Amino acid sequence: MTADKQETFPGRLIAVEGLDGSGKSTQIHLVHRWLQSTGYRVFFSEWNSSVLVREATRKGKKRQLLTPTTFSLIHATDFADRYERQILPLLRAGYLVLCDRYIFTAFARDAVRGCDRAWLRKLYGFARIPDLTLFFRLPLNAALGRILEGRPQLKYFEAGMDLELSPDITESFRIFQGRVLDEYLKMVEEFGFTVVDATQAVHRQQGIVRRLIQERVDLGFFRKRYVQ
Amino acid sequence: MSLKRTYGMALAGVDLRKLSGTLIVIEGPDSAGRSTQIALLAQWLEQQGHAVAQVGLRRSDLVGPELERAKQGNILSPRTLGLFYATDFYHQLENHIVPALRAGFVVLADRYIYTLMARAIVRGAEPEWVASVYSMAIVPDAVFYMTISLATAVQRTFQTHSELDYWESGMDCGLSRDWFQSFVRYQRKIRSEFFKMQTKYAFELVNANRTIAAVDRDLRGRIQLVLDRAERPETRRVARARVN
């Protein structure tokens, strides 16, 4: 637990961030497949995926029991569980860890909900800053279009309904996502995001993403060693 | 009415100026007699005509069952467990303590962030990180820390439970395989963390090695002062202005 986040691990951490509908999950999925099939020690980790905490989160969300503070904390709990059980050990074992969303998702979303930005950064202070954070930038309307046309059933918290921005769930979602985007844009410089133009074709973005990874990470180190 | 503040960070969505109640925290190690004293105080305060709310670190309905299950299996890392407790604490703060303070109640809290912080630090969490997690907690009007010798605590533990509790003995901390030795070492470590917090968090020490009635009398006297102070902020302010 006291493991210093400044400690140098053999592993490397790559995170993708962006609005819902920005195509980041597609891109990190393709990266994962590419690295896996080429024979690298790679692991893919999804935001919000530990079983135990997921139950509490689901319950809290369903019954709308959560305030901005407890919403933030319950996600931090979930992240800490996944970080200490999965991400940190993998980094120490020399893996390339790919994260679909990372602490910046919490920074953006929770700040929009009114949590103090400085408090959030301290709360997640135990988490290592990624070696490469790819931010998939897409104009708000394009992202909204992709989501709203494919999945009209929005969830309460996803649409930021708890903020009472609008009684209409779609309108609430639009306003909420707009604010989340503002928060992301403020973090580009703070955390050194590498911005990827998400309006381009998927395969073209993937080409760029792969090149960025090759530039930033010594992939040769992550080639699997077969021990007989 | 005394103006409330937090330990540094704003609590999202809570207007501190509207909290007219009084928050009194009774802290102390296991077996110090906190709950006994709180029951007596509640009775006394109600007789005086105060509306009283009692809150503890009981599990909330938000993460309660999950926390219980995680503890039983002992499967969470200290940090995760600590954050689970923090979630639970803020849930209670926002859903029980804040509404009661807004309604002008005297809130008697059986433990507060200090116990949670001590437990987390003993389990290896960085003290600064722990303090920042709890920096949105409302600063109580008074914190009474009940001191009790370890020998008395041991006796009281056996008197009430006849066996040692896994968590109260800190068996998850790997201090010793021997239960009694682990209990003693763990309780010492917790006390030493409380000791470090004393000045920073302005604990008022209450000698709990005395009889129940003696401790009760002592607490009443001190709480009366807190309530008097809370009732006369106007006169105080005027007096201070005159001095200046």
Q: Which helix (H) or strand (E) holds A58?
A: helix A51-62
Residue matched to tokens 């969830």: A155
Q: What is the pLDDT of residue A15?
A: 97
Q: Is residue A138 part of a domain?
A: yes
Q: How far is CA B241 from CA A123, B82, B226, B238, in A?
A: 40, 44, 21, 5
Q: List the CATH number of the domain containing A210.
A: 3.40.50.300
Q: Token pair of A193, please?
A: 């995001």
User: pTM here?
Assistant: 0.84
Please give the single-letter amino acid code of residue B206: V
Q: How far is CA B193 from CA A73, A206, B29, B112, B114, in A?
A: 24, 52, 11, 14, 9
End-to-end CA distance of chain B: 22
DSSP state at residue B96: I
Q: Which of A51, A65, A70 to mutate to test the interface with B (most CBs of B within 10 A)?
A: A70
State yes or no: pLDDT of A140 exceeds 50. yes
Helices marked H in B74-149 — which ranges?
A: 78-92, 98-102, 113-122, 127-133
The model's confidence at residue A22, banded by pLDDT at 50, 70 and 90, is very high
Q: Identify the burial level of B183 via C-beta atoms within 10 angstroms of its C-beta, where 0-12 means exposed, 13-18 middle and 19 or more buried.
A: buried
Q: Do A77 and B87 count as a contact with CB atoms less than 8 A apart?
A: yes
Please give the single-letter amino acid code of residue B33: G
Which residues in B68-202 belong to E strands, given as ranges? 106-110, 142-147
Q: Token pair of B47, please?
A: 């007789």
Please give the single-letter amino acid code of residue A45: S
Residue spans of chain B under pLDDT 70 = 1-2, 58-61, 64, 67, 69-75, 233-244
Domain boundaries, chain B: 16-243
Q: What is the pLDDT of residue A114?
A: 93
**Domain residues for A164?**
12-222
How do residues A173-196 score in pLDDT, each as one tens digit?
999 999 999 999 999 999 999 999
- Residues in Cβ contact with A72 at an 8 Å cutoff, skipping those fewer than 6 apart: A106, A110, A113, A115, A120, A123
- Residues in Cβ contact with A216 at an 8 Å cutoff, skipping those fewer than 6 apart: A14, A131, A132
Q: Do B94 and A70 count as a contact with CB atoms less than 8 A apart?
A: yes
End-to-end CA distance of chain A: 35
How do residues B94-136 score in pLDDT, each as one tens digit?
999 999 999 999 999 999 999 999 999 999 999 999 999 999 9
The span from the CA of A40 to the CA of B22, in Å, is: 60
The span from the CA of A192 to the CA of B174, in Å, is: 40
Which range among A95-104, A130-139, B47-56, B160-169 shows the weakest confidence by mean pLDDT?
Answer: B160-169
pLDDT, mean of residues A30-43: 94
Taking contacts as CB-CB distances below 8 angstroms, the residues of chain A near B9 are: 116, 118-119
Count of domains observed in chain A = 1
Chain A: closest CA distance from residue B152 (Å): 33
Decide if domain B16-243 falls under CATH 3.40.50.300: yes
